[in-house]
Amino acid sequence: MKKDDSGAGAAVAEPAARDRIAMEVTGLCVEVRTAQGPVRVVRDVGFSVRPGQTLALLGESGCGKSMTAQAIAGLLDPVAETVGGRVLLDGRDVLTLPPRERRRLAGPGLAVVFQDALTALNPVYTVGSQLAEPFRIHQRLSRRAAAEKAVELMERVGIPEPRSRAKGYPHQFSGGMRQRLLIAMAVALRPTVLLADEPTTALDVTVQAQIMELLAELRSETGMALVLITHDLAVVAEQAEEVAVMYAGSIVESGPVAEVFSRPRHPYTRGLLNSVPAERPRGTRLLSIEGSPPRPAAVPSGCAFRARCPMARDRCATDPPPLETTGPGRASACHYWKELADA
């Protein structure tokens, strides 16, 4: 796939834009400082996403997916540090940008939505003024023009009576409405990439569906690429075209969702799929993956999944399986992926 290094904005999805790469992450490594020394929590993570596309980063909690998102967005906790890798956004490595330039990117380049909408919104300012801020800072609009844009945005994300509700404070909105406000703030400047970390986890099922629908609409309207971080296979199946499955800080399988979900080539992916009710005939027992993921400080030698893997053999205890290409656009980090492919 040809990369566009022109540095031009990717906010508009022209037909050719689908061949470009909006964001490319390679070799991303993150460490956390502990009393026992640094612990690697994200290991050599790489993926790319095209304009208008949704890529899901899927995994159980503690697999490193949120840490990956925070590293990309420059929002790691002070105890964590990015120790390797590149994040190319429209051809520029955002990890090497000075803090000021990086902050300037937040909005038009790389925007983020995290799950906790109440703490992400400032309780002492009206939502209208918070939504207007990006327009004042980045587009230097007057107070009045920015306020008008804020009302338009609220209307766009489905907030009823936006003009009067713009004068309200975050606590006066429901959880679902607050999440809509956060999404509105994130997409205000039509970002090249939106990074959404479990954006619907705290919401009820109906509101979840509405939020996901809103994200899909905005994606197709603006051509932004969406990186969706989730533990929910149903969300991946419905929303994403590409998936990268993470385990113990690494990507263990990646490829088009339809292919990965119908013919997994890693025992972990197969285990995740087997644990979902819809994947099994009615009345049969669910097969959950026995055991739990290793703690980051105690990842075993060889394959990190071996203690839970029904296919593990001697070699798995000594040789770490590399993430290797298993077909067009597909990769797996299992020595024995061919056995799954042939099954």
Is 1 in contact with 65 (CB distance < 8 Å)?
no
In the numeric block, the tokens 């972990």 are attached to: 268
Q: Where are the beta strands (DSSP E) in 178-232?
A: 193-197, 225-230
**Bridge partners (DSSP) listed for residue 229:** 57, 197
Using CB under 6 A, which of 55, 182, 194, 312 touches ligand SF4? 312
Whole-number minimum distance, CB 274 to ligand SF4, in Å? 14
Using CB under 6 A, which of 260, 309, 323, 331 touches ligand SF4? 309
> By CB under 6 A, how many residues form the interface with ligand SF4?
12
Which parts of 158-217 interact with ligand SF4 (CB under 6 A)?
A: none
Using CB under 6 A, which of 195, 289, 316, 331 touches ligand SF4? 316
Is residue 303 near ligand SF4 by the rule CB under 6 A? Answer: yes
Query: What is the chain's length?
Result: 343
Is residue 330 near ligand SF4 by the rule CB under 6 A? Answer: no
Number of neighbours of residue 318 by Cβ within 10 angstroms:
9
- As a whole number of angstroms, the distance between CA 26 and CA 44 comes to 7
Range in contact with ligand SF4 (rule: CB under 6 A) among 5-13, 90-98, 177-185, 330-338: 330-338
Q: Where are the beta strands (DSSP E) in the chain?
A: 23-34, 37-49, 54-58, 80-89, 92-93, 110-113, 193-197, 225-230, 242-247, 250-256, 324-327, 330-332
Is residue 225 near ligand SF4 by the rule CB under 6 A? Answer: no
Range in contact with ligand SF4 (rule: CB under 6 A) among 36-44, 99-107, 158-166, 300-308: 300-308
Which parts of 264-283 interact with ligand SF4 (CB under 6 A)?
A: 267
Is residue 334 near ligand SF4 by the rule CB under 6 A? Answer: yes
- As a whole number of angstroms, the distance between CA 303 and CA 243 comes to 21
Q: Which residue ranges make up the site for ligand SF4 (CB under 6 A)?
A: 267, 303, 305-306, 309, 311-312, 316, 321, 334-336
